[in-house]
Amino acid sequence: MIGVEELRKGVVFELDNELYRVLEYEHRKMGRGSATIRVKARNLRTGATVEKTFPSGNRVQDVRLDHATVQYLYHDEQFYYFMDNETFEQTMLRAEQLGDAVNYLVDGMNIELETYKGEPISIELPTTVDMEVVEAEPGYAGDTATNPYKWCKTQTGLRVQVPLFVEVGDRIRVNTETGAYVTRL
């Protein structure tokens, strides 16, 4: 058990037999009253996002997830398929379980699969992912007093703002936490 004051972004906890990952954390202290902890969390089984408010001093069950390195294979209408690099077993997860991570999954990439008591829960992406640009707006030279950006689309369908010099066919590095362009490769 951990105190709700210890909940931070990325922490996984169990409440009412459901697993949640903290997305946002806010500690509020109002005048003479006691503090409240407000968290925005994603249910790891259903993918639903909920907001929970706890009085200061409450406790929740902390959860330790097991990790295994897997390779992303492919997806169909319902599931995303991963293969364990050691046992070659295939695991499938629904898009709702993965959330925004589906925008960063490139065929053949190695990632960490998180499981809880043998049940696959979610994945942990690397900090950056290399992707190919498949669509890009034309870049017009002109007002260069500011840093001009344009929109492009990657092989996974992710839309990213990039500098004007990025063209179709270029490979770019994207930050998976912010969705921002890092560099051209």
- AA identity, residue 72: Y
Name the β-bridge partners of 110.
71
Residues of each domain in the chain carrying CATH 2.40.50.140: 66-124, 128-184
**pLDDT means over runs of 10, the chain (185 residues):** 83 87 85 83 85 86 89 90 91 86 90 89 89 85 70 91 89 91 90
Fold of 2-62: SH3 type barrels. (2.30.30)
Contact present, 74 and 81 (Cβ < 8 Å): yes
Class of the CATH domain delimited by 66-124? mainly beta
pLDDT one-digit tens code per residue, 110-141: 999 988 888 888 888 899 999 999 998 887 66
Place of tokens 């990039």: 162
Homologous superfamily of the 128-184 domain (CATH): Nucleic acid-binding proteins (2.40.50.140)
pLDDT one-digit tens code per residue, 163-177: 888 889 899 999 988
